Amino acid sequence: MKVLVIGSGGREHALCWAIAKSPKCDELYCAPGNAGIDQVAICVDIAADDYQGLVNYAIDNEVDFVIVGPEGPLVDGLVDMLEKVGIKAFGPSASAARLEGSKGFMKDLCARHNIPTADYGRFDEPDAAKEYILRHHAPIVVKADGLAAGKGVIICRNENEAYAAIDHMMAERAFGSAGDEVIIEHFMAGEEASFFVLVDGETAVPLRSAQDHKPAFDGGEGPNTGGMGAYTPAPVIDEAMTKVIMETIIKPTVKAMASEGNPYKGVLYAGLMITEEGPLLMEYNARFGDPECQALMVTLKSDILDALIACADGTLKNVKLQWHDSAALTVVMATTGYPGRYESGSEIKGLEAADAIDGVVVFHAGTRMDNGKVVADGGRVLGITATAKNVAEAKKLAYTAVDLIDWPEGFYRSDIGWRAVNRSNIKTGHSSHGRHNTHRT
H/E run at residue 305: helix 304-313
Q: Rounded to an integer, what distance in angstroms lies between the CA atom of residue 287 and that of residue 70?
A: 7
- How much is the average pLDDT of 141-166? 91
Mean pLDDT, all residues of the chain: 94
Cβ 192 vs Cβ 438: under 8 Å? yes
Residue 430 has pLDDT above 60, yes or no: no
Q: Rounded to an integer, what distance in angstroms lies between the CA atom of residue 12 and that of residue 5?
A: 7
pLDDT band of residue 28 (cuts 50, 70, 90) is: very high
Residue 224 has pLDDT above 90, yes or no: no
* pLDDT tens-place string over residues 239-272: 999 999 999 999 999 999 999 999 999 999 999 9
pTM over 0.95: no
Cβ-defined contacts of 392-399 (< 8 Å, 24+): 392/417, 392/420, 392/421, 392/424, 393/327, 394/231, 394/326, 394/327, 394/328, 394/329, 395/231, 395/329, 395/421, 397/329, 397/357, 397/359, 397/360, 398/329, 398/330, 398/331, 398/360, 399/331
What share of the chain has pLDDT > 70, as a percent?
96
Q: What residues contact residue 342 under an 8 Å CB cut-off, 6+ apart? A: 334, 335, 336, 379
Q: Rounded to an integer, what distance in angstroms lies between the CA atom of residue 400 and that of residue 389?
A: 16
Residue 105 has pLDDT above 50, yes or no: yes
- Give the sign of the dihedral formed by CA 304, CA 306, CA 307, CA 311: positive
Phi, psi of 320, rounded to the nearest 5 degrees: -125, 110
Terminal-residue alpha carbon distance, the chain: 42
Residue 350 has pLDDT above 50, yes or no: yes
Query: Residue 128's CB: how many other CB atoms inside 10 A?
Result: 14
- How much is the average pLDDT of 323-338? 97
Closest CA to 141 of 116, 176, 169, 115: 169
Which parts of 85-122 fold into alpha helices (H)? 98-101, 103-113
- How much is the average pLDDT of 332-337? 98
DSSP state of 347: B
Cβ 65 vs Cβ 1: under 8 Å? yes
- Give the sign of the dihedral formed by CA 420, CA 426, CA 429, CA 430: positive
Helix and strand counts by DSSP (H, E) for the chain: 15, 22
Closest CA to 46 of 62, 29, 71: 29
Cβ 36 vs Cβ 363: under 8 Å? yes
